[in-house]
Amino acid sequence: MANNSTLDSVFSNRTGQNSSRPSPFTEIRENPLKTYLLGIIISICGNFLISISLNIQKYAHMRQSQLGDSRPYYTSVLWWSGVGLMGLGELGNFAAYGFAPASLIAPLGCVSVIASAVISVVFLKETLRASDVVGGALAVVGTYLLVTFAPHTSTHITAHLVQRYAVSWQFLIYLFLEVVVFSILLYLYKRRNIKHITIVMLLVALLASLTVISVKAVSGMITESIKGDLQLTYPIFYVMVVVMVASCAFQIKFLNQAMKMFDATEVVPINFVFFTASAITAGIVFYQEFQGLALLNILMFLFGCLLSFIGVFLIARDRPKIKTENITFIAMGKIPAAEQRGECALSPAAEQRGECALSPAAEQRGECALSPAAE
């Protein structure tokens, strides 16, 4: 028992925590080293599973195109296995919030980007670029700094504590400002029809801050309930569940719209930066995770975030497209809407050879959209 106390004391002193300055709320605990590391390990494993799932789904799409299979992608068992792994990964991230600070779990999302890049090179035979190596190295160093200098003090997330945090003046001011900014951005996006990537990703990030707050609250209260202190009978638990589901749903909606309007190489790094900044801010304002943290720790933590941001940007920048040579494409004539319009669809490989896949309606009229090489 004495050894555990000594270990926790040394760990606390090394990370600059000042245990003599308690939070305004009395339900404070020093996370034991094992519990803290458990949260980190769960988060890393969850993000690794997510990267595997994304590559499995990508491979399922590639294989379906190569086989000329016209069935919907969601009929593929391989694709659903990827979805299942993604569910496990997200569940791991959800659980990690109950063991470690939100300001640490969110930046660890860069693990998914690093692992996805490695898996795509090894198994999908994508080209390994110099920017991938440099970006991966920066992200790894950034992750190490995040884990080392992140706040290691957390609270027992109980229903009473969440209620107190929810009515604290700093959170009410933060929530008011967030609602005002979100309303302005939504007005510009919907009414003024300004489809800039920054506006869309800021909408996602503002929703993400509520998601992080609610996810940590729900995860923490479930953890306390499992330990024997039942929290599921309090109304605030279900309020947080509703906030979590609603914010996640609208976050996914805006993120899907961004993926349709912009390239993934733009969306992925910007979303990671905005989401991480939003999650850290939410952890600081709502859960007061930086209270008592030494200035050096704060600066090194932010530096680790910066390295992770740069690393993700380098990895996601100008990712090579999936090779489509020697792939049998589905003729546009098989698509009812395209058949009615008489459109002609060229694959990249066919475009290079000057070939044209005609729909029946266009073929009857003798129309063909030729590539320059064919002309």
Per residue in 91-106, pLDDT (tens digit) is 999 989 888 888 889 8
Write the single-letter amino acid at 1.
M
Residue pair 55/120 in contact by the 8 Å Cβ criterion: yes
* pLDDT value of residue 198: 92
Per residue in 284-316, pLDDT (tens digit) is 999 988 888 899 999 999 999 999 999 999 988
* pLDDT value of residue 274: 93
* pLDDT value of residue 266: 83
* pLDDT value of residue 289: 86
* pLDDT value of residue 209: 94
* pLDDT value of residue 237: 95
Q: What is the C-alpha to C-alpha distance for residues 70 and 48, in angstroms, rounded to an integer?
A: 31
* pLDDT value of residue 113: 86
Write the single-letter amino acid at 306.
L
* pLDDT value of residue 32: 57
The pTM (predicted TM-score) of the whole model is 0.71
* pLDDT value of residue 320: 57
**Could you say which residues of the chain have pLDDT below 50?**
1-31, 322-375
* pLDDT value of residue 363: 42
Q: What is the C-alpha to C-alpha distance for residues 201 and 208, in angstroms, rounded to an integer?
A: 10
Q: What is the C-alpha to C-alpha distance for residues 23 and 287, in angstroms, rounded to an integer?
A: 10
| Sign (positive or negative) of CA dihedral 117, 274, 288, 303 | positive
Q: What is the C-alpha to C-alpha distance for residues 270 and 202, in angstroms, rounded to an integer?
A: 9
* pLDDT value of residue 61: 80
Q: What is the C-alpha to C-alpha distance for residues 216 and 194, in angstroms, rounded to an integer?
A: 33
Residue pair 308/138 in contact by the 8 Å Cβ criterion: yes
* pLDDT value of residue 337: 43
Three-state secondary structure readout of the chain: CHHHHHHHHHHHHHCCECCCCCCCCCCEEECCHHHHHHHHHHHHHHHHHHHHHHHHHHHHHHHHHHCCCCCCHHHCHHHHHHHHHHHHHHHHHHHHCCCCCHHHHCHHHHHHHHHHHHHHHHCCCCCCCHHHHHHHHHHHHHHHHHHHHCCCEEECCCHHHHHHHHCCHHHHHHHHHHHHHHHHHHHHHHCCCCCCHHHHHHHHHHHHHHHHHHHHHHHHHHHHHHCCCCCCCCHHHHHHHHHHHHHHHHHHHHHHHHHHHCCHHHHHHHHHHHHHHHHHHHHHHCCCCCCCECHHHHHHHHHHHHHHHHHHHHHHCCCCCCCCCCCCCCCHHHCHHHHHHCCEECCHHHHHHCCCEECHHHHHHCCCCCCCCCC
Which tokens in the block code for residue 248?
Answer: 């996640």
